[in-house]
Amino acid sequence: MTIRLFNTLSGKIEDLAASDGQSFRMYACGPTVYDYGHIGNFRTFLQVDVLRRFLKLQGLTPRHVMNITDVDDKIIRNAAAAGVDIGQYTPRFEKAFFEDLDALNVEKPEIVARATEHIPSMVGLIEKLAEQDCAYKTEDGSWYFRIAKFPGYGKLSKKDFTGITDGARVDVDEYDKDSARDFALWKAAKPGEYRWETALGAGRPGWHIECSAMATEYLGSGIDLHAGGEDLMFPHHENEIAQSESASHQCFARHWFHVRFLLVEGKKMSKSEGNFYTLRDLLLKGYKASAIRLLLISVPYRQQLNFTFEGLAAETGAIDRLRNFQQRVRSASAAATENSSLADETAKCEKNFIEGLANDLNSAEARAAVFDLVRAGNAAIDAGTLGAENVAQILGVLQQFDHVFGVLEDHDAEWTKFALEWAEREGRLNEASPEVLAQRGFSDEQIQKLVDERTQAKKTRNFARADAIRKELAEKGVLIEDSKDGVRWKRK
């Protein structure tokens, strides 16, 4: 199946392929590690995850590079405020970032590259640009990219800069740039500021240069795909193209993948609106990591997604249904004969699932196909017309679904516990919801004891006592389910 994906550069939907016929070389802009990641950040990382997982499902081998921006103005400012070196400031946020990706079941890229560990590579690139007069040094010792030397500037974001008047909006710090649009490659250190001593002078890299240097170092020129949030299109990605292509005289990236921003409760997410959420905020409120993942990936990446708590609750229900179905199919007693219409239904699901994703990563279409199978499969189980071959086929399709969607395995309670432990260490337990908090210190053993007592009470038909225990457990966030195979319980 040919994978078709929208390319920001061409403005068209194009076929995706590994240009070297072996590995699919992709670069995705990673986080600036100065704070905890919010759900907007994670929508982008999650959509890139869906893409790379689907590529793998389709037999491609991704070679995926992600940068960690561990030096920038915000980091320098925050570290200085905390009275520590940037090297002491960033690791905890980098660690938190990867923990969050783990919680969201995001696969780790093949290569993770920190900006601070690639300074020589960036310096080399700037020197190469300087040799071609594409970079120049200003009086304060900073280096800038000369946009006038790159005719293709604006081709990604579709901007026409020909009419821009130089000097129209010049920043005070940038008074000696040749053109207002020229951007910093290397920022000279002001007294007392964090710095690297290099051939370019003492300073630190500009924001855009790290991605050009590291993408090229690990992947070479003409990479298959470059990804990021829609906001990065301009100026970040535009500048990456200008730098990289001026230095190499080759295409930097063939395909550009941009993920749309999300809304929260119908509004732009911002701290002042009070609708700004980190992953940890949501876990502490008792939402499941898997539901957060599913919600963030279920709306196609080019579509604005409205993140709501009602939607999050809905996805929790959807996940339960999918997991229950898988469990039901696994333990179903197979009928003697195969159900051919169900076999057709299963094949159709697989086809629609793959086609949906191949169609510009339409995850909504893909998951709808799976729910069609859930309905058909459940009906067959109810009717007792599920053959052994049917079981194998359905489980196979669910496995494919989960290769990409990654929500069927249940690690939710572990991540909630993880968030609680983190909050406790950070002195932020007050941010946890009462229900989540009630689970703290309520051990599995204690729960089991109450569950057993209730079972005994039921045996003696002491329903009043049994119901009282059920109520008590419910108040502490534990749900009881009676079934033929005994009593099950789970933390909500």
Partner RNA sequence: GCACCGGUGGCGAAGUGGCUAACGCGCUGGUCUGCAAAACCAGUAUUCGCGGGUUCAAUUCCCGCCCGGUGCUCCA
Q: Footprint of RNA on this chain (CB under 7 A)?
A: 29, 31-32, 40-41, 43-44, 74, 157, 169, 207, 228-232, 234-236, 259, 261-263, 266-269, 298-300, 303-306, 308, 310-311, 313-315, 317-318, 320-321, 324-325, 328, 362, 364-365, 367-368, 371-372, 374-375, 378-379, 382, 458, 463, 466-467, 470, 479-483
CA distances to 198, 271, 362, 414 from 283, rounded to whole Å, are 44, 18, 27, 11
CB 115 within 8 A of CB 67: yes
Closest approach of RNA to the CB of residue 264, in Å: 8
Determine if residue 453 is labeled as part of a ligand binding site: no
CB 98 within 8 A of CB 108: yes
How far apart, in whole angstroms, are the C-alpha atoms of residue 389 and residue 133? 67
Helix segments in 255-362, DSSP class H: 279-284, 289-298, 309-331, 340-358
Closest approach of RNA to the CB of residue 400, in Å: 16
CB 228 within 8 A of CB 237: yes
Question: Torsions phi, psi of 406, nearest 5?
Answer: 60, 50
Task: Give the number of other CB atoms < 10 A from CB of residue 215.
Answer: 25
Give the β-pairing of 61-68 and 111-114. parallel
- The residues facing 262 across adjacent strands are 305
CB 6 within 8 A of CB 13: yes
Which of residues 91 and 220 has its CB atom nearest to RNA in the complex? 91
Closest approach of RNA to the CB of residue 483, in Å: 6
How far apart, in whole angstroms, are the C-alpha atoms of residue 241 and residue 252? 6
Determine if residue 251 is labeled as part of a ligand binding site: no
Number of H helices, E strands in the chain: 17, 17
CB 136 within 8 A of CB 130: yes
Closest approach of RNA to the CB of residue 310, in Å: 4
Q: What's the token pair of residue 203?
A: 């300073």
| Side-chain half-sphere exposure of 78, counting CA atoms within 13 A | 16
How far apart, in whole angstroms, are the C-alpha atoms of residue 398 and residue 370? 8
Question: Torsions phi, psi of 388, nearest 5?
Answer: -60, -40
| DSSP, res 60 | -
Closest approach of RNA to the CB of residue 226, in Å: 12
CA distances to 52, 288, 401 from 57, rounded to whole Å, are 9, 26, 10
At 388, is the secondary structure helix, strand, or coil?
helix
Which of residues 411 and 458 has its CB atom nearest to RNA in the complex? 458
Q: What's the token pair of residue 310?
A: 């009602």
Closest approach of RNA to the CB of residue 361, in Å: 10
Closest approach of RNA to the CB of residue 20, in Å: 27
| Side-chain half-sphere exposure of 389, counting CA atoms within 13 A | 10
Which of residues 445 and 481 has its CB atom nearest to RNA in the complex? 481
How far apart, in whole angstroms, are the C-alpha atoms of residue 476 and residue 440? 9
Which of residues 61 and 383 has its CB atom nearest to RNA in the complex? 383
Determine if residue 349 is labeled as part of a ligand binding site: no
Which of residues 221 and 306 has its CB atom nearest to RNA in the complex? 306
Which of residues 181 and 432 has its CB atom nearest to RNA in the complex? 181
Closest approach of RNA to the CB of residue 206, in Å: 10
**466 CB-near residues (< 8 Å, 6+ apart):** 454, 457, 458
Which of residues 151 and 266 has its CB atom nearest to RNA in the complex? 266
Determine if residue 134 is labeled as part of a ligand binding site: no
Closest approach of RNA to the CB of residue 351, in Å: 14
Closest approach of RNA to the CB of residue 336, in Å: 21
